[in-house]
């Protein structure tokens, strides 16, 4: 008969594990075998969300590793067979502020949520809504990559989220064929990026996840029409990675992707923007984020502007006023005084 730990409220200790600034590893091998199930239950609750865990034995061999990539929390789970149940009583405790995007690396998983059930096989992607119950059964030892995406960043209506849970996204073609291997690779390398690079990369990944979700709903987003949409995602990722280059021009971007400048402009026209406008918006966004994050007086406006590709402080100031109706200094003073987000 399966055994389960049902009352995590009564536990008196939290799991511990080795960690660096952005990486944390928890393993049942760090405790006596007869405490492994209790430890694992605590580890999952502490790292992901509260869930009941059932297994066929009283001991359990499992490890999880958690890394940060910008706004994403990435958890790799390797564990023995078992079952997890996100029951209503856990949801009532208030966790579940994220949507889980999971890649089944090895093994299989039987997933049930929102009245649907499916099997995730190696390479498949699944979406999990943490504000509603779900149940997942792992009939064999497995490895699962879980990307916790803040729901405000994924920006999917509640009705749409209900339509993509309990389904397997097969990496056969189109965006899923890009998403699955990208998530796998990121889970392995997430700790190797500098903070600015990680933040830009996370933004690109979240955009690809959102586009993939939209495709599963039967309607690609208007700005991502078929093959052009895949190319546009690649172009935007390239731009984000090269924002610090003041020579980042349409001709440079087009050449890096083997397309004409005219075709590049057409990609952005399809979503009501221009290449230069989108670059400027991204640079201003990164400048605002850095100005708010840095202690007052630690960096100058000119330093931040040049770091994100503006040729001069005057050019940065002009672009800022055109976009926000005030100077960078006035905006920063207002944000700090009011405690507003950037």
Residues 275-290: tens digit of each pLDDT: 999 999 989 988 888 8
Q: Does 7 share its domain with 153?
A: yes
Domain count, the chain: 2
Measured CA to CA, the distance from residue 171 to residue 101 in angstroms comes to 14
Residues 112, 135 contacting (CB under 8 angstroms)? yes
pLDDT for 252: 93
Residues 287, 328 contacting (CB under 8 angstroms)? yes
Confidence bin at 146 (pLDDT 50/70/90): very high
Stretch 173-201: mean pLDDT? 87
Q: Does 157 share its domain with 275?
A: no
Chosen domain end from 171, 201, 225: 171
Q: Does 163 share its domain with 285?
A: no
pLDDT for 94: 66
What pTM was estimated for this model as a whole?
0.62
As a whole number, the mean pLDDT across the chain is 84
* Beta strands across the sheet bearing 62-69: 23-27, 62-69, 72-79, 142-150, 98-106, 125-129
In a domain, 191, yes or no: no
Question: Is 80 exceeded by the pLDDT of residue 67?
Answer: yes
pLDDT for 339: 60
Look at the block and give the residue holding tokens 């190319």: 231
Domain that holds residue 141: 3-171
What would the pLDDT profile of 44-60 be if each residue is shown by its tens digit? 998 999 999 999 888 89
Q: Does 157 share its domain with 13?
A: yes
In a domain, 260, yes or no: yes
CATH number of the domain bearing residue 267 = 1.10.10.60
What would the pLDDT profile of 250-278 be if each residue is shown by its tens digit? 999 999 888 899 999 998 987 788 999 99
In a domain, 112, yes or no: yes
203 closest CA partner among 103, 102, 295, 289: 289
pLDDT for 76: 97
Sign of CA dihedral 256, 257, 262, 268: negative
């Amino acid at each position: 008969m399966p055994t389960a730990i049902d009352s995590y409220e009564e536990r008196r200790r939290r799991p511990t594990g080795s960690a660096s600034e952005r990486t944390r590893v928890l393993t049942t091998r760090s405790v006596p075998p007869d405490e492994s199930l209790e430890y694992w239950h605590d580890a999952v609750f502490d790292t992901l969300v509260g869930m009941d865990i059932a297994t066929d034995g009283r001991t359990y061999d499992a490890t999880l590793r958690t890394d940060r990539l910008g706004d994403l929390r990435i958890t790799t789970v390797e564990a023995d067979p078992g079952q997890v149940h996100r029951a209503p009583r856990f949801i009532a405790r208030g966790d579940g502020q994220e949507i889980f995007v999971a890649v089944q690396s090895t093994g299989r998983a039987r997933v049930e949520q929102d009245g649907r059930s499916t099997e995730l096989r190696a390479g498949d992607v699944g979406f999990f809504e943490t504000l509603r119950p779900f149940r997942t059964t792992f009939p064999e030892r497995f490895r699962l990559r879980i990307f916790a995406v803040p729901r405000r960043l994924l920006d999917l209506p509640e009705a749409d989220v209900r339509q993509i849970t309990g389904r397997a996204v097969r990496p056969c073609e189109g965006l899923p064929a890009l998403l699955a291997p990208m998530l796998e690779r990121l889970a392995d390398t997430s700790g190797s990026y500098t903070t600015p690079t990680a933040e830009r990369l996370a933004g690109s990944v979240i955009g690809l996840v959102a586009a993939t979700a939209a495709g599963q709903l039967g309607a690609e987003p208007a700005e991502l029409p078929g093959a052009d949409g895949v190319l546009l995602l690649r172009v935007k990722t390239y731009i984000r990675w090269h924002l610090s280059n003041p020579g980042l021009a349409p001709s440079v971007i087009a050449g890096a992707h083997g397309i004409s400048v005219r075709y590049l402009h057409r990609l952005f026209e399809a979503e009501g923007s221009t290449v230069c406008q989108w670059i400027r918006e991204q640079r201003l966004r990164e400048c605002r984020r850095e100005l708010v994050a840095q202690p007052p007086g630690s960096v100058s406006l000119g330093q931040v502007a040049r770091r994100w590709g503006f040729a001069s402080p005057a050019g940065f100031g002009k672009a800022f006023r055109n976009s926000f109706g005030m100077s960078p200094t006035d905006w920063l003073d207002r944000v700090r005084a009011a405690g507003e987000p950037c």
